[in-house]
Amino acid sequence: MASHTIPPVCQLLERQASQLSSDACQVAVPLSAAPFLPHTGHTWVTDLAVANVLNQRGQQVHLGLAAPDQRSEGALLFWPKSHALGLWWLQQLCHWLPEGAPIEIIGEHQGGIKRVPKVLEAAGLACIRLDNARRCSLFATHARPVSFDEAEWGEYSALELKLATHPGVFANGRLDAGTDMLLARLAQEFPKGISGSALDVGCGDGIISLWLARAGAKVSALDVDAFAVETTKRSLALNGLEGEVSIGDMLEGVDDSFDLIVSNPPFHQARDVDIGPARRLIEQAPSRLRPGGKLYIVANVFLPYRASLEACFERVDTLEEDGRYRIYRASSPRRSYKR
């Protein structure tokens, strides 16, 4: 859920609004900034939740990894939390924009923007400091083709599966301990494999989908982030496994129903804890489960999911818990939550 406080990057943009080109394509806009952009106009993002907010504001939105067909005369890049993802965006912009086109780069000091001058210098790109306030900085450079090794696709192995990786996609080239615990538990729940359908919500690099598909389930997967969608597709292909992968904001556009819904749901928005999306998943799951269907969730123990689960399901079991994670199984949806 977007906060109503104007984020520091937007405060800095406000005071620079007259200096910045209102034609620049606004790129990689974070969810917190989406409701407050000082300029309307066109945007390029990979996050469906951000795209939905921008659409509601009447912005022209391009959603996806491939650059928009129409070239822009300049861009304003919101430097992301993942440094390697920032490099990916910079590389894309430097190839997409006409050579010499202006690129402005903005970000919070806590988010790593201070590393940008060194990045630009190492790539042989100019760097002009335009402003520095509210613990944020704004830099300017000009497009020129560059490439960064860190910004590329990679691979790793876990649980005898091959996984694709990309900067910015959870869990960045390693198996998350909570996901590991969830999958080990599912192995005990389904020792003979899975014959029904399963939906992996917030699929990230696809590890849960791959595991479910290998166990025999007919798998669907979704994630709000286009990078995660592409990574899961690549991970399935690497293992010769099948699955339908789509972009989605929790279960919003999901019409099908499933025997299993499985998730390691997100609980962060930037640096803040935000369990809004996980709560929505819990509330939406009952109407997307087939009779006898079950929801499996892994969560950090400090996250208060039990009350939401109990409000939506007759039966909620804690299957396992250590000091860090808890595995919930919820079944028998309460009637008030049926569609």
Query: Judged by CB under 6 A, does residue 223 bind ligand SAM?
Result: yes
Site size for ligand SAM (CB under 6 A): 21
Query: Judged by CB under 6 A, does residue 202 bind ligand SAM?
Result: yes
* 225 vs 230, beta carbon nearer ligand SAM: 225
**Rg over CA atoms, the chain:** 21
* 101 vs 158, beta carbon nearer ligand SAM: 158
Closest separation between CB of residue 230 and ligand SAM, Å?
A: 12
Angle between helices 207-214 and 226-238 (to 10 degrees): 30
* 144 vs 218, beta carbon nearer ligand SAM: 218
* 52 vs 332, beta carbon nearer ligand SAM: 52
Site string for ligand SAM, 240-279 (x = CB under 6 A): --------xxx-------------x-x----------x--
* 122 vs 184, beta carbon nearer ligand SAM: 184
The token duo for 17 is 């609004």
- Specify burial of residue 16 (Cβ count, 10 A radius: 0-12, 13-18, 19+): middle
Residue selected from 104, 108, 176, 259 as contacting ligand SAM according to rule CB under 6 A: 176
Kindly indicate which of the ranges 21-29, 93-101, 149-157, 224-232 contains the residues binding ligand SAM, using the contact rule CB under 6 A: 224-232
8 A C-beta contact, residue 263 and residue 297 = yes
The token duo for 181 is 């615990």
- Say how far apart CA 108 and CA 338 lie, in whole Å: 43
Closest separation between CB of residue 267 and ligand SAM, Å?
A: 7
Kindly indicate which of the ranges 98-106, 223-231, 282-290, 301-309 contains the residues binding ligand SAM, using the contact rule CB under 6 A: 223-231
Kindly indicate which of the ranges 92-100, 150-158, 220-228, 305-313 contains the residues binding ligand SAM, using the contact rule CB under 6 A: 220-228
9 membership: H or E segment, kind and range: helix 8-16
Query: Judged by CB under 6 A, does residue 224 bind ligand SAM?
Result: yes
How many CB atoms are closer than 10 A to CB 19?
A: 12
Print burial letters for 264-298: b (CB count within 10 Å at least 16), e (below 16).
Answer: bbbbebbeeebbebbbbbbbbbbebbeeebbbbbb
Query: Judged by CB under 6 A, does residue 30 bind ligand SAM?
Result: no
The closest of 304, 329, 325, 303 to 315, measured between CA atoms, is 329
Angle between helices 207-214 and 177-189 (to 10 degrees): 20
Query: Judged by CB under 6 A, does residue 45 bind ligand SAM?
Result: no
Q: Give Cα 173 distance to the centre of its chain.
A: 15
Query: Judged by CB under 6 A, does residue 152 bind ligand SAM?
Result: no
Q: Cα-Cα-Cα-Cα dihedral of 151, 66, 12, 1, to 10°?
A: -100
Closest separation between CB of residue 159 and ligand SAM, Å?
A: 11
Closest separation between CB of residue 62 and ligand SAM, Å?
A: 19
Residue selected from 29, 49, 125, 215 as contacting ligand SAM according to rule CB under 6 A: 49
How many CB atoms are closer than 10 A to CB 55?
A: 14
DSSP-based three-state secondary structure for 254: coil
Query: Judged by CB under 6 A, does residue 228 bind ligand SAM?
Result: yes
The phi, psi pair for 320, rounded to 5°, reads -165, 155
Q: Of 92-111, which residues contact ligand SAM (CB under 6 A)?
A: none
Residues that bind ligand SAM (CB under 6 A): 49, 170-171, 176, 179, 202-204, 207-208, 222-225, 228, 248-250, 264, 266, 277
